[in-house]
């Protein structure tokens, strides 16, 4: 669902996508009520059908909206419109810490400690408000252009009492930063956030995460079972104090870590002043178990002694009752009373013994069947495997969920049977062929195949709009259920379409500008129509209103009325005829001195007279016309010269 260009909440204009995550898409938007730019996080459609998730989403986001801290991205509004659920947040200009690490690799230790102090300060404020983040990772930490760290995504944390949080439902966050208790499905609290902060510090100073593997399950197991390489072994420039802070924060046992963000903040501040100091304390647990000393031998000895004493007492009593008969009656009465009291207490004991007691429910999620049996040993609880399901987060052979669900300090009756759902591991599915389908059909096929879809739009000269051009990975590829397939969808040519405007009877300048402004090219040709105004468009090559590609050439025929002009024509007759020479011995006749000169312009004769052969510049009438005219010179009706004369550029011409 792309909301760009739409309004939500009747006030937020969605401008562009600025980020995408596993749960939501983040848009840049403008709030038209307060006239400010904001970030709007919109839940993806697959989460909007889960009513329990939506209920928790709203509660958690509203709780987080109460946080106000310089290192926490502020939440302004929470709401929904139809099936669109959104959080409106402060818009931060900067990069995520993950992007910075990806670009720069290992960061300077002082800079890293300074960022960690800001993150810990944000966590301190949240934990004091009974809010646990549960998803501390570099992707959720934005570093502003001024170097201020801002922690985001408190909108998906869960506010609870006693600073604890029960992990259930959809797993949130990245497994690379999970605490061991989070990885095995246990309850998480403030100390879980501090473990994740330790992982973030580790990545900042080394440029890599401490635990990595091919699958999420393998990474989770490493968090629970393996010890990370100390950061200073990967980067010897890390000071001792910083190394010890990271190691302590990453302890697998919560009681061995920092117990609060305040405690961690104190050590981080000291590390800046005394980086080589050894002030980081090591937490410890008292593992000495209390032992019970057996008393069997002592009881047996007492029993033997008491037996001898009893026999001696019975002999004395027989003698006493013979001497005092009334006391024997009293003794019988007391015996009946004693038997009655013993009976009463025995019945009470039997009732107490048969009353069903309450016991604390154990957390069995993440355990193997062998571990389940061990956990239930001595609890008078039983279990049954109700079914098996595929899971991308829980290793095969381990518990995915239990019923009744585990809750901290929650009790159930003895002899209760706990129903378990076991993991079958990651389900492998085959990618169907969707290339050539409409996007809607392709999306349905992939969702039915238990795969996620990422739409990528591309231009295409051959594939019509809305049809899938190609897919990645290709058909018949094996993927894990829940993996993403990229679907490349045609948006057509991608060339802007333009409607041709009406240009006839407009001036050449105006018509040309309209076409250029519309993204079209212009070609001008000229015609003369003396009945129309000079310089206006007579016709256009593409009809008005036709939709064409941007950049198409439109030919405009412009009226050009040619002006009638004249040029003075001169003829050098002597040069053309050779002239004649006067001879003192023989007189040249007049006939030999004269020739007939005729000049034509086009079809018209503009000059015809007898002239002297020795004339060097005979002025004829002007050649008149439009544009270029053909002028010819005849001597005694013999053509001796011809010239194309452009009257627009020539005002006189001499034939010689």
Q: Is 363 helix (H, G, I), strand (E, B) or coil?
A: coil
Q: Is 499 helix (H, G, I), strand (E, B) or coil?
A: strand
**Whether residue 135 lies in the annotated active site:** yes
Q: Within 10 A of 237 (CB to CB), how many other CB atoms are there?
A: 10
CA angle at residue 29 from 25 to 30, to 5 degrees?
A: 165
- Say which residues have a Cβ less than 8 Å from residue 447's Cβ, sequence separation at least 6: 453
Q: What is the DSSP string of 369-413?
A: HHHHHHHHTTTT-EEEEEEEE--SSS-TTBEEEEESPP-TT-EEE
The β-bridge relationship of strands 564-571 and 618-619 is: antiparallel
Q: Which two tokens stand for residue 623?
A: 């050649």
Q: What is the DSSP string of 193-212?
A: HHHHHHHHHHHHHHSS-S--
CA distance 214 to 216: 7
The DSSP call for residue 438 is B
Q: Single out the catalytic residue among 135, 189, 193, 437.
A: 135
- Say which residues have a Cβ less than 8 Å from residue 508's Cβ, sequence separation at least 6: 524, 535, 536, 537, 556, 558
Task: Return left, alpha or beta for 311; rule: phi > 0 is left, psi -120 to 50 is alpha, else beta.
Answer: alpha
The β-bridge relationship of strands 358-360 and 411-413 is: antiparallel
The total number of residues shown for the chain amounts to 656
Express the helix, strand and coil content of the chain in percent, nearest 5 each: 30, 30, 40
Half-sphere exposure of 433 (CA within 13 A, CB side): 1
Is it true that the peptide bond before 367 is cis, omega within 30 degrees of 0?
no
Q: Which two tokens stand for residue 562?
A: 């040619």
Return the active site residues: 135
């Amino acid at each position: 669902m792309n909301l760009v260009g739409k309004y939500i909440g009747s006030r937020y204009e969605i401008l562009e996508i600025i980020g995408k995550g596993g749960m939501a898409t983040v848009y840049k938007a403008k709030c038209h009520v307060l006239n400010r730019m904001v970030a709007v996080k919109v839940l993806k459609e697959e989460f909007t059908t889960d009513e329990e998730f939506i209920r928790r989403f709203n509660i958690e986001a509203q709780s987080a909206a109460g946080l106000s801290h310089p290192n926490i991205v502020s939440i302004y509004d929470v709401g929904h419109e139809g099936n669109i659920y959104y959080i409106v947040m402060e818009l931060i200009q900067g990069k995520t810490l993950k992007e910075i690490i990806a670009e720069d690799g290992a960061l300077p230790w002082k800079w890293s400690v300074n960022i960690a102090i800001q993150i810990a300060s944000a966590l301190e404020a949240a934990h004091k408000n009974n809010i646990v983040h549960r998803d501390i990772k570099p992707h959720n930490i934005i570093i502003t252009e001024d170097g201020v760290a801002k922690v985001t995504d408190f909108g998906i944390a869960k506010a609870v009492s006693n600073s604890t949080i029960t992990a259930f439902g959809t797993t949130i966050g990245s497994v690379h930063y999970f605490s061991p208790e989070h990885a095995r499905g246990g309850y998480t609290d403030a100390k879980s956030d501090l473990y994740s902060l330790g992982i973030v510090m580790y990545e900042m100073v080394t440029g890599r995460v401490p635990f990595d593997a091919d699958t999420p399950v393998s990474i989770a197991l490493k968090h629970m079972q393996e010890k990370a390489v100390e950061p200073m072994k990967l980067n010897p420039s890390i000071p001792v104090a910083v190394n010890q802070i990271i190691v302590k924060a990453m302890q697998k046992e919560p009681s061995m870590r920092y117990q609060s963000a305040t405690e961690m903040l104190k050590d981080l501040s000291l590390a800046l002043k005394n980086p080589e100091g050894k002030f980081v304390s090591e937490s410890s647990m008292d593992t000495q178990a209390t032992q019970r000393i057996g008393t069997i031998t002592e009881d047996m000895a007492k029993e033997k002694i008491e037996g001898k004493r009893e026999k001696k007492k019975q002999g004395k009593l027989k003698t006493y009752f013979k001497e005092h008969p009334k006391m024997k009656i009293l003794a019988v009465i007391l015996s009946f009373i004693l038997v009655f009291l013993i009976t009463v207490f025995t019945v009470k004991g039997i009732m107490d013994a048969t009353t069903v007691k309450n016991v604390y429910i154990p957390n069995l999620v993440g355990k193997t069947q062998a571990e389940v049996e061990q956990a239930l040993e001595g609890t008078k609880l039983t279990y049954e495997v109700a079914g098996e399901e595929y899971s991308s987060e829980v290793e095969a052979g381990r518990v995915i969920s239990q019923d009744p669900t585990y809750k901290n300090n929650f009790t159930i009756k003895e002899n209760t049977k706990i129903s378990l759902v076991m993991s079958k591991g990651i389900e492998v599915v085959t990618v169907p062929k969707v290339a050539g389908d409409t996007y809607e059909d392709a999306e349905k096929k992939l969702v039915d195949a238990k795969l996620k879809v990422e739409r990528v739009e591309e231009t295409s000269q051959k594939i019509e709009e809305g049809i899938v051009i190609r897919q990645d990975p290709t058909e018949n590829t094996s993927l894990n259920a829940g993996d993403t397939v990229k679907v490349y969808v045609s948006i057509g040519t991608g060339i802007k379409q333009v409607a041709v405007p009406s240009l006839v009877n407009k001036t050449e300048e105006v018509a040309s500008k309209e076409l250029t402004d519309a993204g079209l090219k212009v070609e001008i040709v000229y015609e003369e129509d003396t009945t129309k105004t000079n310089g206006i468009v007579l016709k256009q090559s593409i009809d008005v209103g036709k939709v064409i590609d941007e950049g198409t050439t439109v030919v405009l025929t412009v009226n050009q009325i040619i002006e009638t002009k004249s040029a003075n024509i001169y003829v050098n007759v002597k040069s053309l005829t050779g002239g004649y020479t006067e001879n003192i011995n023989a007189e040249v006749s007049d006939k030999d001195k004269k020739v007939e000169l005729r000049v034509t312009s086009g079809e018209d004769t503009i000059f015809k007279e007898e002239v002297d052969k020795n004339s060097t510049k005979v002025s004829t009438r002007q050649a008149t016309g439009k544009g270029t005219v053909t002028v010819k010179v005849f001597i005694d009706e013999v053509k001796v010269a011809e010239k194309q004369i452009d009257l627009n550029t020539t005002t006189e011409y001499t034939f010689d």
